[in-house]
A = this chain, B = another copy of it.
């Protein structure tokens, strides 16, 4: 996960530790999060099936094991459903193509703007 800057005027808007989430927003956030997670799982499951079908020698086994271990660690790390992290998590999921801004319908415009700003920051960096 790329690091966001932790100093400077722009970075202030990137930190959302104390941001408030209404009940409606929490429902929308959970739905979007689960959708992105399901997409991630589908991608890993497809890749696993393809890799397994191509296994020809023992080294391919351990390469598949590494792929699964790394995928599990990455999912554990990236899919962090803490409200203090969620703005940045959504930005990363959008940047990685697991979610669209439109699927965050239900979040306040202010949050959508923050997420959009971070996505643009990632694209530019």
Contacts and interface: CB of A to CB of B under 8 A. Distances in A.
B55 A49 contact: yes
A44 B61 contact: yes
Given A53-B52, A55-B45, A58-B45, A72 B68 contact: no
Given A62-B72, A68-B62, A48 B55 contact: yes
A65 interface: yes
Given A41-B58, A58-B41, A48 B64 contact: yes
A85 interface: no
Interface residues of A, number: 20
Assembly stoichiometry (copies)? 2
A71 interface: yes
Given A65-B68, A68-B68, A72-B65, A52 B58 contact: no
A7 interface: no
Contacts of A57: 41
Contacts of A44: 58, 61
A55 to B, nearest CB: 5
A125 B45 CA distance: 42
A33 B64 CA distance: 25
